[in-house]
Amino acid sequence: GESVGLHLPTLSVQEGDNSIINCAYSNSASDYFIWYKQESGKGPQFIIDIRSNMDKRQGQRVTVLLNKTVKHLSLQIAATQPGDSAVYFCAENGGRGGSNYKLTFGKGTLLTVNP
């Protein structure tokens, strides 16, 4: 399969630890943000989203934090599992009134979970 992990920031964690993946976005007008997970050889898979009127949103084992002041987004994964190993991308919508059609993706972070 293809590798999407070349020349990417990497994060290596032990199974069971918590992971934090960070993303700096560029457009202060963006009002919708998404985290995607991409496993090798597959397309990006939606994890969680957040709108700019929130600063925190929780899902199953994942939490997204948004700091609009410094244009920073983070993804926290609790009790990281080997199946979480993948490249993680943040994406922003550039501020189109909440529609998300034209997403701009960040560079991605490769998460490796060691058993």
Chain residues that interact with another protein, rule: CB under 8 A: 2-8, 32, 34, 36, 41-46, 49, 89, 91, 99-108
Taking the least distance from each CB to another protein, the nearer of 19 and 106 is 106
CB of 4 to another protein, least distance (A): 6
- Burial of 22 per CB tally in 10 Å (0-12, 13-18, 19+): middle
Cβ pair 36, 46 in contact under 8 A: yes
Q: Which of 36, 70, 76 is nearest to 56 (CA)?
A: 76
Taking the least distance from each CB to another protein, the nearer of 19 and 33 is 33
CB of 115 to another protein, least distance (A): 25
CB of 111 to another protein, least distance (A): 15
